[in-house]
Structure 1
Amino acid sequence: MTDHPTTDDIIGIGFGPANLSLAIALRDAMAGSSLRPSFRFIERQDQFSWHRAMMLPGADMQISFVKDLVSLRDPTSPFSFLNYLHVKGRLTTFLNLKTFNPSRVEYNDYLSWAADHFADAVAYGEAVEIVRPETRDGRLAAFVVEAKDGSGTRRSRRCRHLVVAAGGDPAVPEPFAAHLRDRRVIHSSWYLPGIAQALGAPRLDGPEPRILVVGGGQSAVEIVTDLGQRYPRARIDLAIRAPALKPADDSPFVNEIFDPASVDRIHNASPELRADLIAAHRSTNYAVVDADLIQAFYATLYEQEVSGHARYRLLRNTQTTALEESGEGLCATLRDTVAGTEERQAYAAIVCATGYQRAALPAILEPLRPFLASDTADRHYRLPLHPSEPRVSLHLQGFSEPTHGLTETLLSILPVRAGAITQTILGEEQAARSAIRPAAIRQ
């Protein structure tokens, strides 16, 4: 590690859609300003990719293309999805699809196209290990970001403004968490490479592999559908805790929870009311499935009743209470919490479509805790620091759902949030510059 870290005015940890939107907002804001703070992003992946392990055939986005990286902030931006289509020569053919929801593969290509414009400002292939404070006279003066690349080389960088958008960690419940070193236990975040390692290529002969998918949300049913197509001889169980798969509520009035104005309503409410508002709208995002996908899966279950050849099972009210290795595979104990019965079943692979978890304060920021007045971000996604020098700020993207609402971990208002963070940072830079000028005049 270098004794003298390289310095940037702004560093972003993670370069997914959130910090990509921030990079665009910074570029736009500086285009019409005399301020030119330098910025850099650090990304653990070797290249830009968004949910690469869930690029499933036929999977569409669940939000409108208008909720892209920029349009809610500046619909004239060259980084819009529409301009991407124009550049790629697909604008009129996309319009002929008559849809607001592009495929997941195409949206990932759009994001990658936008990210390519910032290749010089991103350090790919580096995992941030810790962020340490740099102090001056007992005050926080800068952040020192320590990272390591794939070869083990460590690198240190410093900045005055830090924006953390590192994403969530896979949530893997017990008893599966105890077997994560077993390649047959897979989380949806590494589904495509994971299932290939666990089962290999599909075979038209030999035994039929039995696969367990755990989870009651969109990803779980998408994975069940993909497994059935990818492994035509597989027998697939979907275990859900609820009595039924629930449809996502995307009706217009409910969908207003994803409008930018909803952040103000939730943030300005009391903590108790905030929790109630978020709970009342959980059916828009958590443990729910698009209605058309539910309909298709129900039809599949019905068709196999007609044919008498059952490849799929929906195990309702089911919890996996134990998991152990056996000669036949991974043996799971499945408990029906309503009937009170148990079943033991061996599986060749298990996929946990169980979502993600986010700490209120990312673990890499723990050394900064003595300088935090609170670990709750303000309206502009900024953690309050004390004591600190001017022109030092710490922002979080994706970690403030309890105070900012369901949009916090989603794509819905990325450009609006990025704009707010950009204006906060540049406002502090401008204020510092204005404070320096009178002092220089007096001298």
Structure 2
Amino acid sequence: MRGILDVVGIGIGPFNLGLAALLDGKEEVEAVFLERKGSFDWHPGMLIDGTTLQVPFLADLVSMVDVTNRHSFLNYLQEHGRLYHYYFLEKFHIPRKEYNHYCRWVAERLPSCRFSMEVEGVIPVDLPDGEKGYKVSAWDHGSGQEKHFMTRHVVMGIGSVPSIPDPCKEMLNDRIFHSSEYVFSKCRLKGKRSVTVIGSGQSAAEVFLDAVRIQEEEGFSLNWFTRSDGFFPMEYSKLGLEHFSPDFTNFFYHLPQERKDELLKGQGLLYKGISAGTIADIYDLLYERSIGGVRPPIHLQAMTEITGIGQAGSRYVLEGFHHVKKEAFSMESDVIILGTGYKQAEPSFLSAMDQGIWRDSHGRFGITEDYRLRSASGEATDIFVQNGELHTHGVGAPDLGLGAHRNAIIINQIVGREVYPIRQKNVFQSFGIGDPSGQEDGSQKTINSFERKDQKWTII
């Protein structure tokens, strides 16, 4: 390894793992990716039997920019002798367990991925060659030693953490837990009288569906509450899906921030709803359970917010409020599962740099169009952000289908040339007035050269 790295990736989730896969074999870039966990494991607490990705298999780590890459999902199938199995399966969406196994397979093939390495700090430094860069400090849990890496660029796979409602924050335990722990805590449902699920996104629906499947045998009553207006499906029409495209990201980025925030408020069902398939599976089970006039002890209620949780002996008391009828109520439950989604994690390793990072009036990072953090002066730094730019780049930020595209942009900036071509026209509709790319035929835009400007590689 040379003394100075070209890039250090912090966190190895799907997005930084995809970056590592796309950099594999690129001898001009020396990269290291650091992860505090001992191995790759993607939302292990939600690997429920029968669940699938919400995006097609082409949204793997590499295919959307390089279908010939050896780290593609199709090559994974071939290497594991499963091509015909998948061919006869005839499904576009792969099992979530298999996606996790696929990512683990890729991570194990990449020497740049190092696990049990917990990054503790990132500080700007002058590199020995006279350039500006960063010193990344990490604790190696394997050796019990601190390691230091000097690098020109940093890529943060920020990730997210469970979002816990205020009434529940002080009460989390083995019977009040977030859906991200469901697989590990599912045993807590056995022998209970009442189980309650809170939330209306995909995770809450998957937990509820799994609980319905065991509810009859276990004998508990089951409740599902959401403050949303209904148990609505995620937008999955073909033209609706075009919002998860580079074209919409480009349109969204150039809007004023107040317009972005306003637009995001009305786009929840693009990424927060329930898949139509999951809703159908739930309904089919409820229908079957009600044959012969049977009324199973299952209760679904929307437009209802859980405002507080208390305790009565060994049971919990939920305080609820129906925001349409303006009525309050209370009920008891033995187990409470919080399908309340996730929120953006704030990386502690940037604490030493906090005063030098630009934030908006809501405390959110300033991020350039090519995914760099802005410094306090507004200039672009050489720290890139993965999945921390919902407020600047729109609903596609956490979407697996745009991960490879974002990584292609990041790689092109790190290398200083077009390693991966960026297609300017990818959808049939225009989001602004006319076509902003000026290329209605969808042709590739060739980057002829790069010019260094305000620490940012700009296409000219």
Q: The TM-score by the shorter chain falls in which range?
A: 0.7 to 0.9
Aligned to 1:82: 74
Distance 2:142 2:295 in 1: 51
Aligned mate of 1:225, from 182, 196, 209: 209
Q: What are the ranges of 5 or more consecutive residues in structure 1 without an aligned counterpart?
A: 1-5, 435-443
Are 1:24 and 2:21 matched, yes or no?
Answer: yes
The one-letter code sitting in structure 1 at the alignment partner of 2:236 is D
In the superposition, the TM-score normalised over structure 1's length comes to: 0.84
**Contact conserved, 1:212 with 1:236, CA < 8 A, in 2?**
yes
**Cα distance change of structure 1 residues 24 and 336 upon mapping to structure 2, 3 Å threshold:** same
Partner of 2:123: 132
Q: 2:252 is matched by which residue type in structure 1?
A: I
Aligned pair partner of 1:342 in 317, 328, 331: 328
Counterpart position of 1:400: 389
| The one of 2, 9, 25 aligned to 2:6 | 9
Higher alpha-carbon deviation: 299-308 or 233-242: 299-308
Partner Cα separation in structure 2 for residue 362 and residue 269 of structure 1 = 27
Residues 354 and 373 of structure 1, relative CA distance in 2, 3 Å threshold: closer
Aligned partner letter, 2:99:
Y
Q: 2:180 matched to which residue of 1? A: 189
In structure 1, how many angstroms separate the alpha carbons of the residues matched to 2:221 and 2:140? 41
Instruction: Write the letter of the residue equivalent to 2:87.
Output: L
The verdict on how the C-alpha distance between 1:11 and 1:165 changes in structure 2, with shifts beyond 3 A counting, is same
Provide Cα deviations, 1:214-252, integer angstroms capped at 9, x if missing partner: 101111111011123345323221111123201111101
User: Are 1:140 and 1:388, in contact at CA under 8 Å, matched by a contact in 2?
Assistant: no
Aligned position for 2:297 = 311
Q: For 2:294 and 2:11, how far apart are their aligned partners in 1?
A: 49
Q: For the Cα contact (< 8 Å) 1:211–1:350, is it kept in 2? A: yes
Distance in 2, Cα, partners of 1:350 & 1:262: 38
Between the aligned residues of both structures, percent identity stands at 28
Q: How does 1:40-439 map to 2 (within 5 A)?
A: 40-118=32-110, 120-134=111-125, 141-148=132-139, 153=144, 155-158=146-149, 159-180=151-172, 182-196=173-187, 198-199=188-189, 202=190, 207-230=191-214, 232-233=217-218, 234-286=220-272, 288-306=273-291, 307-358=293-344, 362-372=347-357, 375-385=365-375, 393-427=382-416
Q: Identify if the C-alpha distance between structure 1 residues 40 and 125 changes in structure 2 by more than 3 Å, giving closer, same or farther.
A: same
Q: 1:325 to 1:415 in 2, by over 3 A?
A: same
Q: Take 2:185 and 2:294, find their aligned partners in 1: how far apart are those partners? A: 31
Equivalent AA in structure 2 for residue 221 of structure 1: A
Residues in 2 aligned to 1:294 and 1:229: alpha-carbon distance in whole angstroms: 14
Structure 2 CA distance for partners of 1:71 and 1:152, relative to 1, 3 Å: closer
TM-score, normalization: structure 2? 0.81
Structure showing greater relative contact order (alpha-carbon pairs closer than 8 Å, 6 or more residues apart): 1
- Deviation of residue 147 (structure 1)? 3.5
For 2:320 and 2:141, locate their aligned partners in 1 and report how far apart those are by CA, in whole Å: 40
Alignment root-mean-square deviation, CA: 3.1
* Distance change >3 Å, CA 150–CA 340, structure 1 → 2: farther
Alignment size in residue pairs: 410
Map Cα deviations across residues 149-200 of structure 1 (whole Å, 9 max, x no partner).
Answer: 55894524232211110301211012111212x222211222211333x34x
